[in-house]
Structures are given as C-alpha cells and as structure tokens.
C-alpha cells in the first residue's frame, strides 16, 4: 500500500502523468493479489464493462446514474482499463492498512479492456458484467474477433454463477456469450424500424457458431440489428431494456425506454443510444431508481474527444473519435443523418500502436456515405496521404490540405473557414490526443479534462 501510494505521489509531483498505471504496477509487483484484496471490499456491486466500442461512454453514464442516486462509487479513468489501472485506483482509495473506507456500500465501475476481461473477472469477482458490442478493432491489435470472443468466454467460465450479464441483444456475437451461461441475463436493444437500414458498413459477424449465415429483419449498423441464424434458427433475444422512437439530433438524442418513458441525453448517434441502454440495464440490475437513471442520462457529457465541441477562433470544432472501422462508420452514419448539407470535415489518421499500425482498415469505412454532402475537407495525421487517397475514391472533394502535423491541419482549417462555421473532426485515438494537445496550446479546449 505504502509503495503504491508513494509512487502515485511521486509521479504526480514529478508531473509524469496522472499516476494511472505506475502505482498499480508497483503495488502488483509487491502483491499480485492487491486488486482482489481491495476490489472485493466494494460491497455495493462490482461492475465490469467491456466491448470493442462504447465501454468508456457506458461506464461514464453508469457512474453518472450512481452519482445521481447518491450511491458511493469508484470508477477508473479512460486509459487505465488494464489490471494495473484497477490496482492504481484501488491503492489510491485505500488506507495504509489496506482498507477501502466506506467500501461496504461502494459500487465499483471498471471499464475493462477486452483482453483484460478474464484477469479482471478472476481478480474482482464481479456481480455485473456488461458487454456492449464486438467489432473488429484495428486489424493488427487483438487479431480476429473470434479470439476476443474466446477471451470473454474464458472470463465468463471463471465468473460466479450469481453474477448478472448485461448483454446487447442486437449484436449476435455478444448474444452468443449467453449460450451456456447458467446465471441471469439482462438484455438490452433497440426496437425502432425507422433507424434501421439495408446494409451499413463492414459486418464483423456474418456466420453463427453453427456455420449458418445471419439474416436480418433490420440492420442498425455493421452486423448489429434484428438478426436470426438461417442455420439453427437462433435469433435476437427479447429485451429487458428497450429503446423505441429514437430521435437523433446533432447535439443530443431522445428516445423512449420501456418503463421509463421518454429520456434525453446530451450525446447523440445510434451507437450512443446503445451505450446508454447498456448503462440503463446495469443501473436496473443494481436497483437504481428511475429518477437517477434519467438524471444520469440528461447530465451526460462527452468523454474526452467523443462528441466534444471545442471553439477555435470562432470556429465550432466537433471532435468525433473514430478508433476503428465500426466507430468510424457510426460517426459517418451520424453525420449522414444529422450533419446537414455542405459539411466541412477533417479526418486525422495515425498509425501508432493504439491506432492500429495497419491502416488498411480505412478501406472498410464507408466514406461514400458522405459523398455529395462534404463541401470542404482536410486530411491529416501520420498517414494523411493514405486518407486523402481513400477520400478521393469515396468521391469527396479534393482536400484543402494534406498535412501530417496537427498544427498545420488546424492552420489549414482556419484558412479554409470563417468564424461561425462548424467543422467536424474525425481523428483516430492518438491523433485525437495530439489534436487536443494542440488545441489546448492554442487555448481552445473548452471542457476541462477530468
Ligand atoms: Zn446458427
């Protein structure tokens, strides 16, 4: 405990980051059982949230609902979703004797990296496990989606039978996790034919475990929708938490949840409605009241770079993180629905480890959706030229600038727009970090980091 706490204090004093990993690493080196010893003191419920996309947003929404309900909770920050991050969080909250003050009533919300899920289950013995979706991440990160599904099954095999799964009924790969699960499942999903479409984006699940092909009554995006296996007849389960009458605007979404009536949220896009449903499902399993659920949704602010609006010299920059093909397609769908005509769009593509070093995934992104709607565009990031080529094939206009340096991209955006104009910026993960740092240097970032 002392070593972890000292490390945390030292890293903060030396300004070597917020101390999200190193204190945990040190504590784990001394006592590999530190996460279990501290985490299991959280008696209000231990919740793991995993999935390819949406786990940060879902955990934040759930934390907001817990706050509105007045329930004490712990929540790991984005970027600390590995076991060392859990250890850092817990060590900093515990006292020197290894006790978490107020732990008996406290809820733990742990955003969990997909590959960390089995270790997180073994360490934390969760009461609730939320899975948002399973998409292909960048090609070279975790390998095929089947490998990730295998890791999740391994985690579930280690979980307590009394735990509750909160699963996305619209994603057949997530729904398959319930097969063989002996405990309770709380299903969430969207029931709104108006937001369905024929085909949208690269499907990462085409075949059932039986070998049969999935057929769709309606598809929301990629392989997510109202599905059925043509082989074994397995189909989308009936949902416990259901969204209907979804209305998406640029600055927010409204929809009806069975049992709650109409709810509203400051985030938008069908993908965020699905994330919100995951949080509502978990909140219901934890026994939170209606008022807290509504307030948690209404008070939602965008997580770091996801639908964040930043003013720069009078321009309204919308930062729309797209860290993989599914995420990018969802952003493009949102802009198709709500972005209006004559959009100005800047894409930023990096190829570092966290982005995926193989950028060929951009050829699975349907930039074509916005052909004819984009009036001006910019291509930036380490792989600006690759992105410019992709946008050219998609029928976008010739970029006003192709520049790797985020500062140069911002200069070009300023040169190509007038004050009062809106620009949509679609960065990959590390490009978002760099852009945000550059915006901060220019005094432009409006919402403070948590
Ligand atoms: Zn089947």
CATH fit for domain 306-441, picks 3.90.1300.10, 3.40.50.970, 3.90.190.20, 3.20.20.140: 3.90.190.20
328 phi, psi to nearest 5 deg = -65, -45
Q: What gap in Å lies between CA 279 and CA 274, rounded to an integer?
A: 9
Q: Which residue has the tokens 């299903």?
A: 187
- Find the helix or strand (DSSP H, E) in which 28 lies: helix 22-30
**What is the CATH architecture assignment of 39-82+101-298?**
3-Layer(aba) Sandwich (3.40)
Q: How many angstroms is it from 50 CA to the middle of ligand 1?
A: 24
Q: How many angstroms is it from 154 CA to the middle of ligand 1?
A: 21
Q: What gap in Å lies between CA 91 and CA 106, rounded to an integer?
A: 15
- E strand intervals along 51-98: 73-75
- Convert 213-250 to b/e letters by CB count within 10 Å (16 or more is b): ebebebbbbbbbbbbbbeeeebbbeebbbbbeebbbeb
User: Residue 313 region, left (φ>0) first, then alpha (ψ -120 to 50), else beta?
Assistant: left
- Convert 329-338 to b/e letters by CB count within 10 Å (16 or more is b): bbbbbbbebe
| Average pLDDT, consecutive stretches of 10 residues, N- to C-terminus, the chain (450 residues) | 84 67 85 91 97 93 97 88 91 92 96 94 97 78 76 96 97 94 97 79 73 90 91 95 93 93 92 96 97 93 74 93 88 90 97 88 92 97 97 97 96 96 96 93 64
Q: How many angstroms is it from 74 CA to the middle of ligand 1?
A: 40
46's tokens:
């231990």
Q: Given this model, what pLDDT does residue 448 score?
A: 37
Residue 332 and residue 364 in contact, taking contact as beta carbons nearer than 8 Å: no
Which residues belong to CATH 3.40.1190.10 in the chain? Answer: 39-82+101-298
Which residues belong to CATH 3.90.190.20 in the chain? Answer: 306-441
**Across the strands, what pairs with 310?**
317
Q: Given this model, what pLDDT does residue 350 score?
A: 96
Q: How many angstroms is it from 236 CA to the middle of ligand 1?
A: 11
Q: How many angstroms is it from 136 CA to the middle of ligand 1?
A: 20
Q: How many angstroms is it from 326 CA to the middle of ligand 1?
A: 23
Q: How many angstroms is it from 226 CA to the middle of ligand 1?
A: 14
Q: How many angstroms is it from 232 CA to the middle of ligand 1?
A: 4
Q: What gap in Å lies between CA 199 and CA 222, rounded to an integer?
A: 7
Q: Given this model, what pLDDT does residue 203 score?
A: 64
Q: How many angstroms is it from 244 CA to the middle of ligand 1?
A: 27
Q: Given this model, what pLDDT does residue 198 score?
A: 64
CB atoms within 10 A of CB 449: 9
Q: How many angstroms is it from 277 CA to the middle of ligand 1?
A: 26
Q: What gap in Å lies between CA 215 and CA 198, rounded to an integer?
A: 11
């Amino acid at each position: 405990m002392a070593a972890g706490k000292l490390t945390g204090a030292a890293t903060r004093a030396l300004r070597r980051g917020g101390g999200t990993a190193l204190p945990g690493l040190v504590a784990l080196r001394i006592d590999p059982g530190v996460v279990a010893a501290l985490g299991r003191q959280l008696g209000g419920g231990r919740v793991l949230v995993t999935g390819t996309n949406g786990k940060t947003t879902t955990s934040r929404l759930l934390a907001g609902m817990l706050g509105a309900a007045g329930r004490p909770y712990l929540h790991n920050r984005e970027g600390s979703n590995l076991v060392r991050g859990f250890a850092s969080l817990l060590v900093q909250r515990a006292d020197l004797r290894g006790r978490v003050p107020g732990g008996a009533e406290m809820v733990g919300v742990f955003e969990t990296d997909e590959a960390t899920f089995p270790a997180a289950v073994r360490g934390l013995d969760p009461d609730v496990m939320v899975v948002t979706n399973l998409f292909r991440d960048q090609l070279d990160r975790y390998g095929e989606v089947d490998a990730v599904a295998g890791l999740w099954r391994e985690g579930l095999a280690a979980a307590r039978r009394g735990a509750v799964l909160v699963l996305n009924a619209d994603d057949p790969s997530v729904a398959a996790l319930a097969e063989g699960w002996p405990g309770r499942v709380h299903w969430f999903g969207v029931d709104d034919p108006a937001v369905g479409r024929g085909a949208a984006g690269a499907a990462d699940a085409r075949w059932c475990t039986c070998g049969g092909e999935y057929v769709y009554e309606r598809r929301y995006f990629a392989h997510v929708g109202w599905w059925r296996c043509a082989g074994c007849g397995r189909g989308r389960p009936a949902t416990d938490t259901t969204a209907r009458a979804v209305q998406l605007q640029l600055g927010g979404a409204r929809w009806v949840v069975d049992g709650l009536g109409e709810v509203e949220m400051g985030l938008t896009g069908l993908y965020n409605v699905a994330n919100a449903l995951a949080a509502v499902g978990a909140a219901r399993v934890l026994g939170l009241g209606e008022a807290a659920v509504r307030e948690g949704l209404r008070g939602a602010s965008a997580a770091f770079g996801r639908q964040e609006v930043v003013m720069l010299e009078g321009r309204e920059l919308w930062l729309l993180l797209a860290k993989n093909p599914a995420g990018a397609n969802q952003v493009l769908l949102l802009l198709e629905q709500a972005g209006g005509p004559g959009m100005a769009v800047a894409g930023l593509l990096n190829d570092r480890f966290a982005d995926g070093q193989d950028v060929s995934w951009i050829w699975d992104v349907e930039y074509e959706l916005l052909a004819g709607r984009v009036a001006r565009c910019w291509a930036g990031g380490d792989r600006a030229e690759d992105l410019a080529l992709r946008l050219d094939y998609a029928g976008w206009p010739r970029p006003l600038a192709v520049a790797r340096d985020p500062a140069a991209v911002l200069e070009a955006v300023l040169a190509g727009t007038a004050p009062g104009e809106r620009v949509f910026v679609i960065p990959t993960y590390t490009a978002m970090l760099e852009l945000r740092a550059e915006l901060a240097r220019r005094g432009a970032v409006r919402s403070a980091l948590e």
